[in-house]
Chain A
Amino acid sequence: MTELTELGVAQIRDGVRGGDFTAAEVADAFNEAVAGATSLNAFITPTPEVAARHAALVDVDRAAGKDLGAMAGVPIGMKDLFATRGVRTTAASHILEGFVPEYESTVSHNLWSAGAGMLGKLNLDQFAMGSSNETSFFGNVVNPWRRNGSDVALTPGGSSGGSSAAVAARLVPAATGTDTGGSIRQPAAFAGICGIKPTYGRCSRWGTVAFASSLDQAGPMARDVRDCAIMLGAMAGFDAKDSTSLDLPVPDWEGTLSADLKGKRVGIPREYRMEGMDPEIEASWEQGKAMLRDAGAEIVDISLPHTKHALPAYYIIAPAEASSNLARYDGVRYGLRELPAGAGLQDMYAATRAAGFGDEVKRRVLIGTYVLSAGFYDAYYTQAQKVRTLIARDFAEAWDQCEIILAPTTPSAAFPLGEKSDVPLAMYLNDVFAVPASLAGLPAMSVPCGLNAQGLPLGLQIIGKELDEQGVLDAGRAIEARAGFTAQPEKWWA
C-alpha cells in the first residue's frame, strides 16, 4: 500500500468510504508527518488530538452505516486566521498569541460538518499581511522546495505560506487559505500546488480574522484541481451571519469537472506582459496557452487597460479597511494587554499595539489611517474606489471576448527568505498579477505548470467570470492534465 500521506483529498475520502483504511489511520499518518517537519515551521499550533477525535467520529459513523460527508476522513490544515473553538487562534500575531475563541468560523464549521478533521493551525503572515510569510510573529515558514543543488531557504509565499508548505511537503492533503490580494494563489504557485480563491461572497467570512473585508475570501489549497473542487464545495455556502455572503446554492464542482474546453475562448491580457518579465514565466505562459488550445479552447488577445493601477489601488483600499478592522485589538477585552505603571487608557492602547503588532501590520495600519484622514480621503480612498470600479469594468468588457483569462500567477518563482523583506514595495510587486481579480471579486486559481531551470515550480493563473468557479476549475484541470506535474520537493526537513 502507498503511504497514506501520499494520498489526496479524493483518494482519502474514497478509501475511507470503501474501507481501504480508517480515518484514524489517515489522521495518525499525517499527525506523524506534521510532527516530523517542525523545521518547516508550517504550523503554529499542531492539534493531533483534534485530528484523532475528528477521525474517530468519521469511523464511528462509517461503522454505523451512516452517509459520510464530502470530506469524510480527510484531515486538513487550518490557516490560523480561522477561529477554531477551543483551539488558540493567533492570526500569527503577538496581540492574539493567547487567544482561544469560544466560537467556530463558518468555513471551519462547514468543513467539520463535511467530515474533515484538523491537523493543526497553520502559520501565515501576521494578520495575512505579507507575501513571504516573514511577518509572522511565530517565525517564517520555509518552503520545502529548494533550488537545484542549493540549500538556500526559500519563501513558501504568503500570506497562506504555512498552508502551501504543508501541502507541498505532504504534511496535509489539503489546507484552507485566505486570499485578499493573492494570498492563496501566490503561495500555491511558489509551492507547486493548486489553490483557488472563489468569487467574493462564496465562502462566509464569519469567524475569520478580518484583514480587508471587501477583499478577504477563503479558499482551498490542495495538490490537484479535483481536490480543490471537493474542498471548496465543503467550505462554501450562504451564511446569514455574513451580510456579504452570496445566497446561492453551491454547485457540484467536482461532479461536473471537465477538462474539455471546446467552444471556450481564453483571453490573454496584454497588460500582464510586463517590461523585463522573467523569461521563464513568459515561457510558462506560452505553454499554458498551448495546453488550453490543445484542450479545445480558442486563444484570444484581450486588453485590461487599467491593470497598472490595480496594485496602487489595492494598497490603498486594503490598508484602509485593515486600519479600521484592526482597531478592535486594543487590550481592553481579550488578547495582549500592555499596562505600564501609571498608564492611562491612551497609554495602554499605545503600549499594547506597539508590542502586539509587527512592523508590516503597523505599516499598513499607518497607511490606512493616512489615506482615510480628512483632507486625504478623496485623493486616495475615493480615487482608489474609482479605480476599483474601472478594474471591474475592464473584466466585464473582456467577457465579451472570452470566458476565461490566463495569466501568470506571480512575476517570479519562490525567492530566498530575507531577499525582499526590507523592501516593502518589491514585496508588494509579488501580487501584481493577483490583485486585479481580488479587486473585481472574481474567482481565480493557480495551478502548477512545470519547474523552472532551477527546479522550482511555476504557477499559472486562471481568472473566471463571477460565479464561474466551474470554468476556472475546468481550465485548471485542462492544464493539470497536460502539464503532468508530479514533481515533489525532495525531503530535507525534519
Chain B
Amino acid sequence: MSNYRIQGETGEWEVVIGLEVHAQVTSQAKLFSSAATQFGAEPNTQVSLVDAAMPGMLPVVNRECIRQAVRTGMAIDAQINRWSRFDRKNYFYADLPQGYQISQLYHPLVGEGALTIDADEKAGIPEARRIGIERIHVEQDAGKLMHDQHPTMSYVDLNRSGVALMEIVSRPDLTSPAEAGAYVRKLRSILRYVGSCDGNMEEGSMRADVNVSVRKPGEELGTRTETKNVNSVRFVMAVIESEARRQVDLIEDGGAVVQETRLYDPDRNETRSMRSKEDAHDYRYFPDPDLLPLELDDGFLAECRNSLPELPDAKRARYEGELGLSAYNANALTAEVETARWFEELLGETAAAQGKPEKDVAKQAANWLMSELLGALNKIGASLDASPVSPKAGAELLALVGEGTISGSIAKQVLEFMLETGDGATAIVEREGLKQESDTGAIEAEIDKVLEANPDKVEQYRGGKDKLFGFFVGQVMKAMQGKANPQVINELLKQKLG
C-alpha cells in the first residue's frame, strides 16, 4: 500500500485503481482470419471476407494467438484454463462489421495470476508489491473510423478489425498513479520478454482502461469510473490523478460519483463523461455458436511453457546473485528485453575475448554498457538496437582495457572513434597510437622530469600535503598524452616521493 493520498477539505482520501490493459497479440494473422496484421498499411488492404463479415463467413481460431495468450498467462503465474470458450458481445457500430465482437466473458482462457512491481522510493513506492491479475481473455479488435476524410461522412478502415487482443484485467490492487505506472511498465516488459505483444503504445498495440474510485481510509469501496483507451504510461498516471481529484471534489461538494465511462483529454488533462451506466449497452453476451470450445492438451501447454524465455524478475535475480551486479545495474539491464539481450551477448563475447568466466567480467561489461555506451549512444541519438557498435566490437574494446593495453579513459576516446567510423577497437588503438605505456623506464623518466620541474610542490607533499599526489599523477599522464598505465605511475611515484 502506497502512502499516496488525495488531500481534501474533509481529510485524506485513498485511491483504488484497477487496470484493463488491451494488448495486441503479436501474430502474422488475425484472431479468426488469415488477413495480415501489419501496422500502418493502406486502409482496407488487410481485410479478409471474415473481417468484413460477408454473408456466410465463419471464424476459425488462430492457434498462434491462443499460444501467445497462454504463454503470457504462464509468465504472470496465472492459472491456464484448459477449457475456455468464446462469446459474442453484441452491439452496433460502424467499425464492428459482424455487429458483435467475439470475446470471452464467461470462460476466459487465463485465470488468476499476478505480477510484482518493484520498490521505487523516489517514485513513492516504498516496497515491492504483488498486484493481482484477475484474468486474461482473448478477443477481436474493432476497425477504425476516420472522420477527417469527408465533410459529411465517416470512413471505415477495417485493417485492425479482427486483430487479436489480450485483455489483461488487474485486481483493484493499485493505490497510486506511481504504482499504476509501474504496473503498466512491468506488464509491458513481461509482454515484450514473452514476445506476445510489442507493447508499442504509440501505435496502439497496448492501451489501458483505467478504473478509479476514492474512499476515506478504511471505508468501503467508492463508486468507480472507467476511463477508456488511455495510450501511454504518463497518461495513465495523469488520468488517475485528475480523476481522483475530480471525484474527491465532487463528493466533498455534496455530489456523488456516477458509475460511467469517461474519456481522457490530454490537452486539457481532464476526463469527461462518455456515457453513464443508464445508457450502457446491453451486450447480450452468449456463446458463439460458430466456434467450438477451446480445449488445450498437455503437448500444447508443454510447448508454451518450454518456449518461455527467462523473465525479468528471474533474470534480475540471476544478475545480482550469480553475476554479482549491483541492484541498480541488474534492474536497469533487465527492464527491457532488448537491453538484456544486448548485455548477454556482450557478456558472452567479453568472457570469450578475455578467456574468463562470465561472472568475472560481468561488472566490467555492465558498467561499460550502462555508463559508457548508453551515454554515448544517447549523445548521438541512437537506441541500443540501432547501435553502430556491436556487442562483439564492445567486447573487443573491453578486452583491450582488461589486458591493460589501454586505460579506461582512453577507452572512452576509442569508443567515440568506433561510433564515428565503425572500425574495430584494436585497429583504432593502433592507428591513433593510443596504446598504453607500461614501460617502467619511460614512465620513470617522465616522473623525474615532473618532480624536477616542481620542487616546491614536492616539498609541500613531503610536508604532509597528500592531496598533491593527484597533481603529480596528472602531470605525468599529461606529459605522456594519457597513455601511461596509471597503476605503474602510482607505484613509481610513491617510491620516488618516499
Interface residues of A (CB under 8 A from B): 82-83, 89, 91, 96, 99, 101-103, 105, 205-210, 212-214, 240-244, 320-321, 323-324, 326-328, 330, 332-334, 345-346, 349, 369, 372-374, 377, 381
Residues of A within 8 A of B247 (CB): none
Assess whether B53 is in contact with A243, with CB atoms less than 8 Å apart.
Answer: no
Assess whether B97 is in contact with A372, with CB atoms less than 8 Å apart.
Answer: no
Indicate whether B4 reaches chain A with its CB closer than 8 angstroms.
no
Cβ distance B19 to chain A, nearest Cβ, rounded Å: 25
Indicate whether B289 reaches chain A with its CB closer than 8 angstroms.
yes
15 contacts between A and B (CB under 8 A): A89-B55, A101-B55, A205-B56, A206-B57, A206-B58, A208-B56, A209-B55, A321-B289, A328-B98, A330-B99, A332-B94, A332-B97, A345-B93, A349-B92, A374-B284
Assess whether A103 is in contact with B286, with CB atoms less than 8 Å apart.
Answer: no
Cβ distance B278 to chain A, nearest Cβ, rounded Å: 13
Assess whether A241 is in contact with B100, with CB atoms less than 8 Å apart.
Answer: no
Assess whether B292 is in contact with A105, with CB atoms less than 8 Å apart.
Answer: no
Indicate whether B30 reaches chain A with its CB closer than 8 angstroms.
no
Residues of A within 8 A of B88 (CB): 324
Cβ distance B140 to chain A, nearest Cβ, rounded Å: 14
The digit string for B205-245, where 1 denotes a CB below 8 A from any CB of A, is: 00000000000000000000000000000000000000000
Assess whether B100 is in contact with A327, with CB atoms less than 8 Å apart.
Answer: yes
Cβ distance A208 to chain B, nearest Cβ, rounded Å: 5
A451 to B284, CA, bound (A): 47
A102 to B61, CA, bound (A): 23
CB closest residue in chain A, given B154: A345
CB closest residue in chain B, given A385: B287
Cβ distance A432 to chain B, nearest Cβ, rounded Å: 23
Which residues of chain B (92-134) have a CB below 8 Å from chain A?
92-94, 97-100
Interface residues of B (CB under 8 A from A): 49, 52-61, 88, 90, 92-94, 97-100, 154, 156, 282, 284-286, 289-292
Given contacts A243-B291, A373-B282, contact A330 B92 (CB under 8 A): yes
CB closest residue in chain B, given A374: B282
CB closest residue in chain A, given B52: A333
Of A209, A324, A377, which is in contact with the most chain B CB atoms at under 10 Å from its CB? A324
Given contacts A332-B94, A345-B94, contact A327 B99 (CB under 8 A): yes
Given contacts A324-B100, A328-B99, A332-B94, contact A377 B56 (CB under 8 A): no
A103 to B57, CA, bound (A): 10
Assess whether B284 is in contact with A369, with CB atoms less than 8 Å apart.
Answer: yes
Residue in B53, B60, B61, B156 whose CB lies within 8 Å of A328: B53
**For chain A, what secondary structure do more than half of its interface residues adopt (helix, strand, loop), or is it mixed?**
loop
A494 to B284, CA, bound (A): 48
CB closest residue in chain B, given A214: B289
Residue in B54, B58, B98, B289 whose CB lies within 8 Å of A241: B58
Residues of A within 8 A of B97 (CB): 328, 332-333
Residues of A within 8 A of B56 (CB): 82-83, 101, 105, 205-210
Assess whether A243 is in contact with B289, with CB atoms less than 8 Å apart.
Answer: no
Residue in B53, B98, B286, B292 whose CB lies within 8 Å of A320: B286
Given contacts A99-B55, A324-B284, contact A213 B100 (CB under 8 A): no
Given contacts A89-B55, A330-B99, contact A373 B92 (CB under 8 A): no
A240 to B156, CA, bound (A): 29
CB closest residue in chain A, given B284: A372
Assess whether B55 is in contact with A243, with CB atoms less than 8 Å apart.
Answer: no
Given contacts A213-B289, A324-B284, contact A240 B60 (CB under 8 A): yes
Given contacts A324-B99, A372-B90, contact A377 B55 (CB under 8 A): no
Assess whether A101 is in contact with B284, with CB atoms less than 8 Å apart.
Answer: no
Assess whether B58 is in contact with A205, with CB atoms less than 8 Å apart.
Answer: yes
A373 to B97, CA, bound (A): 21
Given contacts A242-B58, A327-B90, A330-B92, contact A372 B286 (CB under 8 A): yes
For the complex of A and B, 8 pairs with smallest distance between CB atoms: A327-B99, A372-B284, A213-B289, A214-B289, A328-B53, A207-B56, A209-B55, A213-B290
Residues of A within 8 A of B60 (CB): 240-243
A332 to B153, CA, bound (A): 12
A369 to B284, CA, bound (A): 7
Assess whether A327 is in contact with B92, with CB atoms less than 8 Å apart.
Answer: yes
Assess whether A243 is in contact with B94, with CB atoms less than 8 Å apart.
Answer: no
Please name 7 further chain A to chain B contacts, defined as beta carbons within 8 Å, in addition to the given A101-B54, A205-B58, A374-B284, sorted by A numbering: A103-B49, A205-B56, A206-B57, A213-B289, A327-B90, A327-B98, A377-B284
CB closest residue in chain B, given A205: B58
Residue in A96, A241, A320 whose CB lies within 8 Å of B55: A96
CB closest residue in chain B, given A96: B55
Given contacts A213-B289, A327-B99, contact A332 B58 (CB under 8 A): no
CB closest residue in chain B, given A327: B99
Residue in A105, A212, A372 whose CB lies within 8 Å of B289: A212
CB closest residue in chain A, given B290: A213
Residues of A within 8 A of B61 (CB): 243
Given contacts A209-B56, A328-B97, A330-B99, contact A243 B292 (CB under 8 A): yes
A452 to B73, CA, bound (A): 65
Cβ distance B252 to chain A, nearest Cβ, rounded Å: 34
Cβ distance B28 to chain A, nearest Cβ, rounded Å: 17
Residues of A within 8 A of B58 (CB): 205-206, 241-243
Of B52, B282, B285, which is in contact with the most chain A CB atoms at under 10 Å from its CB? B282
Residues of A within 8 A of B53 (CB): 328, 333
Cβ distance B60 to chain A, nearest Cβ, rounded Å: 5
Cβ distance A428 to chain B, nearest Cβ, rounded Å: 20
Cβ distance A404 to chain B, nearest Cβ, rounded Å: 28
Residues of B within 8 A of A327 (CB): 90, 92, 98-100
A332 to B285, CA, bound (A): 23
Assess whether B55 is in contact with A324, with CB atoms less than 8 Å apart.
Answer: no
A231 to B93, CA, bound (A): 41
Residues of B within 8 A of A83 (CB): 54-56
Residues of B within 8 A of A206 (CB): 56-58
A437 to B273, CA, bound (A): 50
A105 to B58, CA, bound (A): 11
CB closest residue in chain B, given A201: B292
